[in-house]
Structures are given as C-alpha cells and as structure tokens.
Amino acid sequence: MYVYDFDNGKVSNPRYFEEEGIIGSVGFNWSKNSDMLYVSNFNLIPEKIDQGLMILKDDKTKLSKIKTFITGIDGNVDEACWTAVSPDAKRLYVCSFSTNVLGTYELDETGMVTKNIGFEKRGDNAPIEDSKDIYVTPDNKFVYFLGSLTSYSISRFDITKDGVAYKSLYNIEATKDKIGQTGVYDLGGLDGFDIEK
C-alpha cells in the first residue's frame, strides 16, 4: 500500500506498507480524520486469513499496521474486495468476492474499527467469485452490492442496527442475456448519485 502527499500537483513524501503473506490489497478508504486507512486484502496465505481487513496508521512518515479483522464467515477464504464508509462515518463495509458476503464493522469517534457487527450473504443468484463493489446511499439506509462476473446484478441490503439485511437482487438490463456465463463481462465498479427534481 503506497501513500503520497500532493501539493499543487507535486508529489512528495512517499510511504508504504508491505508484509509477506499479504499478496494483494484491493479496497481502501481513509478514516474521517485521514490518519488511518481501512484496507481489504485479497489472496492471503492461510496463516494470514484473519487479515482480510487491515487498519493502517499514517503518521505522515510511515504506514504501520495497528489492527486486523477477519472478513469471511467461519474463517472462509473469502477474498475481500472493495470497501465503503457510511456517510455518518460510524460504519465500514467490506465485500467479499469469493463468498459474496458483506461485512459490517463499527467505527468509533476517532475512526478506529472497534468490532465486526456481522456478515450477511447475498441471496438469489450469487455464484462464487462474483461480488466486487459496494455503494452506501447518502441517507444511510441502503447498501448496494455489485455481482460482477457471472450474475451481472445489483443486490440491495437494508442497513439495520445489527448490520445489514439482504432484501433483493436486480439484473442489469444491458448484461441480462449473459447471466450465468462467467467472464463475458467484468463489471468492476459501482457508484451512485442523488438526482434533484
């Protein structure tokens, strides 16, 4: 994981974190104070299975690992992917590519991850190795979860006090005729915006 400072287009102060056995980092978000990074890790060796979510401290000179969390149910190799912070900065969400699980983590007032609230699996058409990106609505009521490689879908979760609850699946019209044909498309990202009337 590399971090740089930018000032008027100039790059400075490079710093990085690496650790043997953590093969790929995918998702990342800054804490609300921009002093911590929430990083999801992919392709972990078995001894690092509890490091699907890693919290890095940025002291402006180096990145240091300060905490890790498991991202799969029952220690599964879930291949954590994208991450998202809730609009109120009280929760962090991590999606798992392989097992189609959405993990919910509680954040304290400093932005530190304090605990895993729970995991919720996508329902309906959820083949393995299908989930990628997530989007939290600005009203903090829903999380949308992208099925990217086989289902070509968007799943909706309601945000609850206990985490999230799976509610429904929508098949994307433009890719609907290829559902079930793995790899025809690779829908890599999901975003949303408000439309004012």
81 within a domain of the structure (yes/no) = yes
Q: What is the pLDDT along the chain (197 residues), one digit of tens a residue?
A: 999 999 999 999 999 999 999 989 999 999 999 999 999 999 889 889 899 999 999 999 999 999 999 998 877 778 999 999 999 999 999 999 999 999 999 999 999 999 999 999 999 999 999 999 999 999 999 999 999 999 999 999 999 999 999 999 999 999 999 999 999 999 989 998 877 76
Residue of 76, 176, 165, 94 whose CA lies nearest to 131: 94
| 102: its two tokens | 């959405």
184 within a domain of the structure (yes/no) = no
191 within a domain of the structure (yes/no) = no
pLDDT computed for residue 77 by the predictor = 76
59 within a domain of the structure (yes/no) = yes
197 within a domain of the structure (yes/no) = no
171 within a domain of the structure (yes/no) = yes
How far apart are alpha carbons 165 and 98 in whole angstroms? 19
187 within a domain of the structure (yes/no) = no
CATH of the domain at 86: 2.130.10.10
pLDDT computed for residue 46 by the predictor = 87
Counted domains in the chain: 1
How far apart are alpha carbons 171 and 153 in whole angstroms? 4
pLDDT computed for residue 197 by the predictor = 62
Rg of the chain, C-alpha, whole Å: 17
The Cα angle at residue 70 between residues 65 and 72, in degrees rounded to 5? 145
Range of the domain at 121: 2-178
How far apart are alpha carbons 142 and 107 in whole angstroms? 18
